[in-house]
A and B are shown apart, each in its own frame.
Chain A
Amino acid sequence: QKEVEQNSGPLSVPEGAIASLNCTYSDRGSQSFFWYRQYSGKSPELIMSIYSNGDKEDGRFTAQLNKASQYVSLLIRDSQPSDSATYLCAVPGRKDDKIIFGKGTRLHILP
């Protein structure tokens, strides 16, 4: 089983709609979870972090965490063409402190 899994996409969402990105992880001991956005040809940038079960909102972004089911999701409300990018889920392991990235989901916002 892969340690951090994401649907590779592409995920196409109409402008103004809600984009939903999902990520599952295998290490039950993980305590922190991160979402990065990577535009084509650019380096990743951290957009959300979440540590507790439930929702965390920041502007148009909402991160959701369910530790029992071992998944974390990212919702983007009122999607804009500028949200078109690859979104990477990252989970630090509890045992060895290395951080594992999913392969990313390509999101395409349709104007």
Chain B
Amino acid sequence: KAGVTQTPRYLIKTRGQQVTLSCSPISGHRSVSWYQQTPGQGLQFLFEYFSETQRNKGNFPGRFSGRQFSNSRSEMNVSTLELGDSALYLCASSLDWGQWETQYFGPGTRLLVL
């Protein structure tokens, strides 16, 4: 069974630009969550999508947004990038909304903002 896949794996952007990250969940998993991981703040929950709807959201500004498609694949967008957005962005999929015990993480996208 294929795991969670994320593209791209590495990305370099400049301040003010926007970026879109993609996540394909494990087959059969209908929920996708996004996280930001930095050395200073650790692993922080961004949002969770299920049935193409955002189910819950962490404490991040509106520049961070996402969406989910009918095949459960998800994208995350960050607009007007800031230096502090440099981080590892992790996507995780689970069978159902809030079913954290079935959550598997992808390899992540490392974003560097210059």
**A interface, CB within 8 angstroms of B:** 32, 34, 42-46, 49, 88, 90, 92, 96-104
Contacts and interface: CB of A to CB of B under 8 A. Distances in A.
Given A97-B48, A103-B41, 12 more contacts: A34-B100, A45-B105, A88-B42, A90-B100, A92-B98, A97-B55, A97-B98, A98-B48, A99-B33, A99-B100, A101-B43, A103-B42
B96 to A, nearest CB: 12
B100 A32 contact: yes
Contact of B90 (A32, A43, A92, A98): A43
Interface of B: 33, 35, 41-45, 48, 55-58, 90, 98, 100-101, 103-108
Which applies to chain B's interface (DSSP): helix, strand, loop or mixed? strand
A98 B101 contact: no
B42 A102 contact: yes
A97 to B, nearest CB: 5
A24 B100 CA distance: 19
